[in-house]
Amino acid sequence: MSLSRCVTSALRTRHALQRLVYPMAVLTREFVKLQVGGDDGHVDLCLPVAKSEVWTVREYSKRASARSHAKSDSSSDSDSDRGSGSGKRGMTGQTPFWRQKMRTHHSLIDVNKDGVVSWDDFEALISRFKQLGHLSPEEVSKFTDAIRHVWEEEWGASGDPYVFIGQEQFLMQMEHVVNTKDLRKKVASPLVYFFKAVDTDGSGEISIEEFEVFYTCLGLTEEDAAQSFAAIDKNGDGKLSRKEFVKLGREFFLSEDETQPSKLFWGPLSD
């Protein structure tokens, strides 16, 4: 059975089934095929997961990218675009330090801590920031759109809303992002909405208390917030402007400089 036919036939039940199958897939790192009994014998449900899924998702992503940039270089891929980002840093996303940062971010966004990131995780995050009550309905809508862009274009879920993205896959995808000019430019676009959501007094600046709210919504501790804030509040005035907040949050993904405090923006680095 072809992959596209498998995906189509299994789409409705796949989301639930993947939750059951994923642990097995981790062990085998193979294409998982289930046979479900039916009137005429059986139906094959093919669940491309783990390593196999990397390629599936990258192809989806490339097609989506080609569609959205049809007028520019629609044949772009991670090789031809490599180094065409800012042109300043020669960024390749290869250093152990950068990879550590991306692993940290993957763990952070894995809100339900099942080892993989799905749209459910992002929905949980959106819900937490929305419930703070500082985003207007229009801002919630834009925030959701921005998160969806992150999910589809940065995490590579275009074309398959039910995909589960593991750590290695995210690293590959982010390497593609930071080496692709258009994607690099938009990286971490929801930051302005995170800022607005946690600027609880509407002052246009984030205090340490408001930064704690940010971290709490991300599932981090107040101690984590205090440590990160002390590092990223460079002039020590106890405030972060929107510009600083956005700059730090983006720099986390784009910089390979280990001395930059932006490495702590999304919480303490994992091992």
Give me the residues that bind Ca ion (CB under 5 A), please. Answer: 110, 112, 114, 121, 199, 201, 203, 205
User: Residue 80 corresponds to which tokens in the numbers above?
Assistant: 């031809």
CB of 258 to Ca ion, least distance (A): 28
Of 218, 227, 243, nearest to 132 by C-alpha is 218
Tell me how many degrees the CA angle 24-26-32 measures, rounded to the nearest 5: 55
Q: Based on CB atoms, which residue is closest to Ca ion, 43 or 108?
A: 108
DSSP 166: -
Q: Based on CB atoms, which residue is closest to Ca ion, 6 or 165?
A: 165
Q: Based on CB atoms, which residue is closest to Ca ion, 159 or 238?
A: 238
Q: Based on CB atoms, which residue is closest to Ca ion, 30 or 201?
A: 201
Residue with tokens 């074309």: 159
Q: Based on CB atoms, which residue is closest to Ca ion, 110 or 153?
A: 110
CB of 39 to Ca ion, least distance (A): 36
CB of 87 to Ca ion, least distance (A): 35
Residue 87 φ/ψ region, left for φ over 0, alpha for ψ in the -120 to 50 degree band, beta for the rest: left
CB of 260 to Ca ion, least distance (A): 24
- Exposure string (b/e) for 80-101, b if CB count within 10 Å is 16 or more? ebbeebeeeeebebeeeebbeb
CB of 190 to Ca ion, least distance (A): 18
- Give the Å distances, CA to CA, from 184 to 73, 92, 266: 15, 12, 18
Per 3-state DSSP, what percentage of the chain is helix, strand, and coil (rounded to 5)? 55, 10, 35
Q: Based on CB atoms, which residue is closest to Ca ion, 81 or 152?
A: 152
d(CA 269, CA 88): 25
Q: Which residue is nearest to Ca ion (CB)?
A: 203
CB of 50 to Ca ion, least distance (A): 15
